[in-house]
Structure 1
Amino acid sequence: MDAAVFYGEGDIRVEDRPEPEIESPTDAVVRVTHTAVCGSDLWPYRGYQDREEGTGIGHEPMGIVEAVGDDVTSIEPGDRVLGPFSTSCGSCEFCRKGLHTSCVNGGGWTGPESGAQAEKVHTEHADGTLVRVPERHADDEETLRSLLPLTDVMCTGHHAAVSAGVEAGDTAVVIGDGAVGLCGVAAAKRLGAERVIAMGHHEDRLEIAEELGATDTIAARGEEAIEQATELTNGGANHVLECVGAESSMETAFEVARPGGTVGYVGVPEGVEDAEFLTTAFRKNVSLVGGVAPVRSYIEDLMDDVLQGTLDPSPVFTKEVDLEDIDEGYRSMDEREAVKVLVTA
């Protein structure tokens, strides 16, 4: 089968890799029809994160079940399923708490043979990981495009909003105009925020933020951006979503937070060394809540809203490529030509 393989900075190739097979009674094999390139995939692509050359990559699969082990009960061959970015058993202490990303038996999709950017994927915890799409929606391409972000970025943006404590009538500030930040805007709106202020550096992306529910946008940088946000919120926001993970974005988040407020952080930390923002957090009694999003605990509720037509995160996909052209998808995201790339296998 074809699979995207990482070979070093700026080097993603599509190669023939062995097809996955059922190895244990709890396994499933899924034929991937849709996947995506994630911002976190760019860290090794840009040389900022170590990864072994020759390994598979990608973690956002959606497709059709091809085979299941004898103990699998929730899905069967022919079902359309979504795969959260981390696998989980569904029964350990942390899965029962809804913290599936800390599953003692779980892991990721990336392996020596292939990741989720491939024609097929394998999971050893099918019942605890995969989420079935209702049959009546299983072949609706428009709906599938709206569901795919639930494998990662939509649930991650939702985790930021939940962690920040966003509720009906609130004002929320979202830091970051990447796919996660844009989904954070949609999530804050979904939770009932009356005002959602999106902060980013790209006018075209902030237009998407408005499409997803932002009432105000800020395209300035540095102190000017902080001043604008502080003015718009009359002294700061009680609910701030940090959706980047850079040192500068963390600093901005705590600067625009109101004393006693909460920063919900989901950006994968990269280049955060001095953490001077913690001094700001301490001085203002601002809470820091969040971390890696437990997608499996959110995905079914969010899927209900997508299927009802009240949530549509698909605007984050601004480019589509075939699996054989996935290197072009990486290039376009790396050069900020695309927000998020949808990949069809």
Structure 2
Amino acid sequence: MLDGPGALRWEDCPEPTLDTPDQALVRPIAVATCDLDPAVLQGFFPLAGPYPFGHEGVAEVIAVGENVRTVSPGDTVVVPFQISCGACPPCLRGRTGSCTAQAFMSTYGLGPMGGLEWGGLWADLARIPHADAMLVPLPAGLDPSVVTTRTVPFEDSVAALLEAPMKLVAVR
């Protein structure tokens, strides 16, 4: 839990459960830090605590709802920070931050700013809605810590040729 600037603590919480058939439960393996995290942790971006922290990372799929088709228990996946359905017009255009099926700015790990309270990825388990749209499977054998920490120098170029707009969230 993030209580305030520089005040992080571990807290036992009830484990999430699958509430709808399109959800998945994941066990976070490696959580990325983004440019917003240091500002939040240092109090420069005022978000009242306490709330669970951590909003993007790599996880192992633990359980899936009966309608989930793209991932299975045991898969390693990227969990993007924005919660989105993948089916509304904005999501289909790759504008997941404007998803009309979720509250504005629904994210993991940003408490009151994150729309609905989805918790954070600094946790033993996290519930993922719209699992088929949100979870991006990683190739077998890829080290999760490399996925969450790899940076590309500004002078380098990277081309990402992917098959769906949601997969772009996995490219940083």
Residue pairs, 1:260-279, within 5 angstroms: none
Candidates 50, 53, 56, aligned match of 1:54 = 50
2:11 is paired with a residue of what secondary structure?
strand
Q: Distance in 2 between matches of 1:88 and 1:120?
A: 19
Candidates 1, 6, 11, aligned match of 1:10 = 6
Candidates 28, 36, 39, aligned match of 1:40 = 36
Q: Distance in 2 between matches of 1:74 and 1:146?
A: 23
Which residue is 2:158 aligned to? 190
Displacement of 1:147 in angstroms is: 2.0
**Structure 1 segments (4+ residues) deviating >3 Å:** 111-114
Report Cα offsets for 1:249-280 as digits up to 9, x if no partner: xxxxxxxxxxxxxxxxxxxxxxxxxxxxxxxx
Q: What are structure 1's unaligned runs of at least 5 residues?
A: 155-181, 192-294, 303-312, 314-345
Larger Rg belongs to: 1
Candidates 157, 166, 169, aligned match of 1:296 = 166
Displacement of 1:57 in angstroms is: 1.1
Q: Which has the higher strand share?
A: 1
Contact 2:136/2:167 (CA < 8 Å) preserved in 1?
no
Q: Which has the higher helix share?
A: 1
Q: Distance in 2 between matches of 1:86 and 1:104?
A: 12
Q: Give TM-score, length-normalised by structure 2.
A: 0.79
Q: Give TM-score, length-normalised by structure 1.
A: 0.42
Q: What percentage of residue pairs aligned between the two structures are identical?
A: 30
Report Cα offsets for 1:287-337 as digits up to 9, x if no partner: xxxxxxxx834146x5xxxxxxxxxx8xxxxxxxxxxxxxxxxxxxxxxxx
| Higher relative contact order, structure no. (Cα contacts within 8 Å, ≥ 6 residues apart) | 2
Asked if residue 128 in structure 1 is aligned to residue 127 in structure 2, the reply is no
How well do the aligned residues superpose, as a CA RMSD in angstroms?
2.4
Q: What are structure 2's unaligned runs of at least 5 residues?
A: 112-116, 160-164
Residue pairs, 1:95-174, within 5 angstroms: 95-106=91-102, 107-110=106-109, 111=111, 114-134=119-139, 136-137=140-141, 140-141=142-143, 144-149=144-149
Pair 1:122–1:18, CA change in 2 (3 A): same
Report Cα offsets for 1:131-176 as digits up to 9, x if no partner: 1113x32xx43xx233225xxxx7xxxxxxxxxxxxxxxxxxxxxx
Q: Distance in 1 between matches of 2:167 and 2:137?
A: 14
Displacement of 1:38 in angstroms is: 2.8
